[in-house]
Amino acid sequence: MSRSSSWAREALAVFGKDCLLELRTRVALGAVLLFAVTSVVASGFALAPPSGVAGEVKASLLWVIVFFAAIAGLSRVFVVEEETRTADALRLAVSPTGVFVGKLAFNIALMWALCVVTVPLYLLLLEVPVRHWSLFVTVVILGSTALACATTAVGAIVAKATMRGALFGVLAFPVALPPLLVAIHATKAAWLSEGGWRMATGDLQVLVGFMLVIVPASLLVFEHIWSE
Amino acid sequence: MNAVAKILTGVWIAGVTVAAFLWLPPAQGFRSPESARIVVFHVPCAILTFVAFLVNAWYSWFYLRRREPLLDMKASVAAELGLLFAVLATVTGSLFAMEQWGSAWNWDPRETSIVMLMLVYAAYFVLRGAVEESGKRARLSAAYALLAFPAMVFLIWIMPRIVESLHPTNTLFTGSGLDPVYRITLWSFFVGMMAVFVWMFRLRLRVEMLEARVRRRRQTEPEPTLTGVQP
């Protein structure tokens, strides 16, 4: 069996294990969704029409909610391994690349689940007029994926430290800021501007480029974070 | 750094500072031409912040490759100095912004990116504070520095695309924009500050090494007051 297929298989196994674990406990999904839905409802109370809040503010707020909801749950996937003391077993069974790719896939899935629930609710409660639907959906998919890519390795760092909850937000923010800013910018283009795709093409390129840089960088350092 | 180099650095910086006020003409085209002299001190501090960030990433990378505690010390000292120069650059920049643009903070891309650098450094030290064991602390903080590095490069690269910048671009190296007299003074001050940077770096490193030695000795030798005491 070749090397490449072995880590892909391992990653798939890790992803499957984490999904199963999540379906049984629903800790990460519960934390993330509860946080997001509460924030969306709270914003809806305050900002729903006829409050006259500008679309720019709503676009920023959507991504702020998504980011902080992600902070509530994305480190879970590594913290749980340390808490249940299963990290050593995983280290023995699976290569670091397999672990990282599997956990990253899980975090991406978690972000997508978060967006599937939160974004429609947000659009409904805050009555956002979306001009370019295809662009907006693309931005949400790429933006949430980029956020997961940026924060997965940080989650692995945090799992090894003390005061994990507070630390994750502090450490994740600078790394997640580039995709966050770009996603906000592109969302404004999708909601408000006439240009739509033409306005946001550069933003989408930056999002993809960011993922193409941060994932290999994470893979390079992950081995050093993960191994004792 | 030997005594001669220290004295030379002192004289050099004093000379450049005097030149910045006496030799440098007031910059025309600014709202207050006299206050534009601060650019000579501000820009070198900003460049040194990024130099410190590069040095930190460089030693972090080598720490992960070689696992020598000295490399971790160097990385953390570089981050400390980077934080110091980031504060200096922000304060001098805000003073100038107050004079020139009427407010100390404008969310200019460069202002934002230096604040983000400060946040990265702050997060780096919070992380170092949150891990007890020294080997683990070194590994995790080096990994974090290397993760934050591409993010910062992206931020510095994309920010000007998203927001308009008040700062001029491409004036430091190309002929246009900056008066030659200003350019000479600015880079002379940079050379002086670079020497200070190297000096402080080595001084902090020596302190770190002594502290590590004291810690090791404490660990190997039991506390003298407790020996021979029966419970």
Per-residue pLDDT tens, chain B, 231 aa: give them: 688 888 888 888 888 888 877 777 766 666 666 677 777 888 888 889 889 989 999 999 999 999 998 999 999 999 999 999 989 988 888 888 887 777 777 777 777 788 888 888 889 999 998 888 888 999 999 999 999 988 888 877 666 666 555 566 545 544 445 677 777 888 888 888 898 899 999 999 999 999 989 988 888 876 666 555 555
pLDDT for the residue numbered B64: 92
Distance from CA of B66 to the nearest CA of A (A): 11
Please state, for a pLDDT cut of 90, what percent of chain A lies above it: 42
Helix axes A133-159 and A197-226, enclosed angle (nearest 10): 20
Residue B83 vs residues A76, B52, B121: alpha-carbon distances, Å: 31, 9, 6
A13-29 per-position pLDDT tens digit? 999 999 998 888 888 88
Rounded distance, CA B51 to CA B17, Å?
A: 22
Residues A140-168 have a mean pLDDT of 90
A192-216 per-position pLDDT tens digit? 877 778 878 888 888 999 999 999 9
Residue A73 vs residues A83, A133, A155: alpha-carbon distances, Å: 15, 28, 10
pLDDT for the residue numbered A61: 92
Classify the C-alpha dihedral A196-A199-A202-A203 as positive or negative.
negative
The 3-state secondary structure of A75-97 reads: CHHHHHHHHCCCHHHHHHHCCHH
Length of chain B: 231
Domain ranges of chain B: 43-163+177-212
Question: What is the average pLDDT value for chain A, to the nearest integer?
Answer: 88
Contacts of B149 in chain A (CB under 8 A): 217
Contacts of B146 in chain A (CB under 8 A): 217, 220-221
A54-85 per-position pLDDT tens digit? 888 889 999 999 999 988 888 888 888 888 88
DSSP summary character for residue A129 = -
Distance from CA of A156 to the nearest CA of B (A): 9
Whether residue A174 and residue B119 make contact (CB cut-off 8 A), yes or no, is: yes
User: Which tokens belong to A192?
Assistant: 């408000």
Contacts of B122 in chain A (CB under 8 A): 170
Rounded distance, CA B33 to CA B100, Å?
A: 9
Length of chain A: 228
pLDDT for the residue numbered A208: 93
Q: Locate the chain B residue with the closest alpha carbon to A165.
A: B130
Which among B64, B132, B148 has CB closest to A224? B64
Pair A90, A167: CB distance under 8 Å = no
- Domain holding A101, by residue range, is 3-226
Domain count of chain A?
A: 1
Helix (H) or strand (E) holding B92: helix B69-101
